[in-house]
């Protein structure tokens, strides 16, 4: 299904766009049963590619949204123009790099910076496993200690994810162009929402499972918020897709 945009609100100057990669594809011979799609697996730092056709579809929809959002005021019939000042930061993982490359082919002037802090949460030895094969007692331990539990023994904690997302947010607010696009993952986008609700870029106490945001754009979708000015930012535009 094509990514769809809710255009009820127009992004204000100084917008942070958060785009999620397209549907990932699990390559043959990666351990899980062949009938298990990537979406049924824990693939945080696992560098699986995204579906090429869905990536192109997502890039086309996102490029249109970016240009439409910055159409000159009062000129509804005018041609959409690319965002001249757009700064793009992208996760190093292949599924995000594919979307960045596709978008650059549609908006040639944009400059993409790879930022390792925008990678998905690292799940340690859970990586690549179908979720229903992750030991139940380990998932229960994570739920009980959501913010500081180390995933799969040697992975990350949610608090570490928040710290790196907070770091890149602080840097971007002070050094990037007013309009910034992050091409990233659901976990990073949820971390942004959590930090916004609590007055970021400072990282407060570790989150609890019942307070962690669950909404995130679908595969190939996006959302857009205004950069916060000392307090939480209000969401102003969203894109959604079905995975």
pLDDT in the model for residue 35: 64
pLDDT tens digits, 89-148 = 999 999 999 999 999 999 878 889 999 999 999 999 999 999 999 999 999 999 999 999
Which stretch of 23-27, 62-66, 173-177 has the lowest confidence by average pLDDT?
A: 173-177
The residue with greater pLDDT, 115 or 70, is 115
Give the pLDDT band (50/70/90) at residue 178: confident
- pLDDT tens figures, 54-69: 999 999 999 999 888 7
Q: SS in 3 state form for the chain?
A: CCCEEECCCCCCCCEEEEEECCCECCCCCCCCCCCCCHHHECCCCCCCCECHHHHHHHHHHHHHHHHHHCCCCCCCCCCCCCCCCCEEEECCCHHHHHHHHHHHHHCCCCEEEECHHHCCCCCHHHCCCEHHHCCHHHHHHHHHCCCCCCCCCCCCCHHHHHHHHHHHHHHHHHHCCCCEEEEECHHHHHHHHHHHHCCCCCCCCCCCHHHCCCCCCCCCCEEEEECCCCCCCCEEEEEECCC
> What is residue 162's predicted lDDT score, i.e. its pLDDT?
93
Res 233 pLDDT > 80: no
Q: What rounded mean pLDDT belongs to the chain? A: 81
CA 121 vs. chain centroid, Å, equals 11
Report whether pLDDT(179) > 90.
no
The dihedral through the CA atoms of 90, 220, 80, 227 has a sign that is negative
Between 176 and 151, the higher pLDDT residue? 151
Q: Around 17, how many Cα atoms within 13 Å sit in the side-chain half-sphere?
A: 30
Q: Which residue has the higher pLDDT, 69 or 5?
A: 69
| Reported confidence tier of residue 197, pLDDT bands at 50, 70, 90 | confident
Cα–Cα distance for residue pair 48/70, rounded to 1 Å: 33
- Give the residue ranges of DSSP H helices in 148-227: 158-175, 186-197
């Amino acid at each position: 299904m094509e990514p769809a945009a809710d255009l009820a609100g127009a992004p204000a100057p100084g917008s942070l766009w958060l785009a999620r990669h397209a549907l990932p594809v699990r390559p043959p011979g990666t351990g899980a049963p062949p009938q298990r799609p990537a979406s049924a697996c824990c693939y945080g730092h696992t560098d699986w590619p995204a579906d090429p056709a869905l990536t192109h579809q997502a890039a086309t929809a996102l490029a249109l949204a970016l240009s439409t959002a910055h159409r000159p005021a009062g000129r509804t019939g005018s041609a959409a123009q690319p965002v001249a000042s757009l700064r793009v930061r992208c996760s190093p993982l292949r599924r995000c790099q594919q979307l960045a490359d596709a978008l650059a082919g549609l908006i040639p002037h944009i400059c993409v910076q790879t930022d390792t802090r925008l990678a998905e949460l690292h799940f340690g030895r859970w990586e690549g496993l179908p979720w229903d094969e992750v030991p139940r007692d380990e998932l229960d331990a994570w739920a009980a200690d959501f913010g500081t539990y180390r995933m799969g023994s040697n992975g990350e904690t949610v608090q570490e994810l928040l710290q790196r997302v907070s770091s890149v947010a602080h840097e971007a607010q002070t050094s990037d162009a007013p309009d910034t696009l992050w091409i990233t993952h659901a976990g990073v986008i949820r971390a942004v929402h959590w930090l916004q609700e609590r007055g970021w870029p400072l990282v407060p106490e570790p989150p609890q499972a019942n307070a962690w945001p669950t909404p995130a754009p679908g595969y190939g979708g996006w959302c857009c918020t205004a950069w916060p000015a000392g307090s939480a930012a209000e969401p102003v535009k969203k894109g959604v897709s079905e995975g």
